[in-house]
Amino acid sequence: MAYDLIRPAVSLYRETTPKIDMMAPVTTMNRIAQVACERIILMMNNTELVKERRLSSMDQVLSYLTGKHDDVGLSGDRGDLYRRKLAEQIFLAFAVDGIDHNNVTVIVESAILLERETRRILMGSANSRFSAPGVNIDEQVLNILARIAEIF
């Protein structure tokens, strides 16, 4: 025995299409940059070569890599040793090929710039997540940072 409805069912809710979060890629890139920065700081601290007991910011890491720190006893390019050691740690920990002492500062600077740029975009988008400006970053550098952050 089947029952017939007298009238069709009426929903109290309007049908709406799901809204796509356009800020999701920016949020993901921000997370990649944050985790990559944290891991770069940890790798620099793990070298046990830095004068300070513990580095706490990416600016300190950059000053060591560029040789602009106070370190008595090292002559020549003082940042070369730190660049070589960080590039070695990135290779050993994350199996990232192509990073050496010549280009490791580009990766560190890119991580800093990506984190700052995406944070600025996210702060400006507090009211609306339905549009997002583009973020300028080289795809290969983003892939390297994502491997360091172990995201994707």
- Residue 85 included in any domain: yes
- Residue 19 included in any domain: no
3-state secondary structure of 130: coil
Pick from 136, 133, 95: nearest CA to 114: 136
> From CA 112, how far away is CA 116, in angstroms rounded?
6
Question: How many domains are contained in the chain?
Answer: 1
- Residue 14 included in any domain: no
- Residue 93 included in any domain: yes
What is the biggest distance separating any 2 CA atoms in the chain, rounded to whole angstroms? Answer: 95
- Residue 2 included in any domain: no
pLDDT recorded at residue 67? 83
Domain, as residue range, for 72:
24-125+136-149
- Residue 17 included in any domain: no
Tokens of 2: 């089947």
- Residue 108 included in any domain: yes
Low-confidence residues in the chain, pLDDT < 50: none
Pick from 65, 109, 54, 55: nearest CA to 87: 65
pLDDT per position as a tens digit, 43-86: 998 887 777 778 889 999 998 888 877 666 656 677 888 899 99
Angle at 108 between CA 107 and CA 111, to 5 degrees: 85
| E strands, the chain, in order | none
Do 58 and 40 form a contact (C-beta atoms < 8 A)? yes
- On the CB side of 127, how many CA atoms lie within 13 Å of its CA? 1
> From CA 56, how far away is CA 76, in angstroms rounded?
26
pLDDT recorded at residue 2? 64
- Residue 8 included in any domain: no
DSSP structure class, residue 41: H
pTM for the predicted model, two decimal places: 0.81
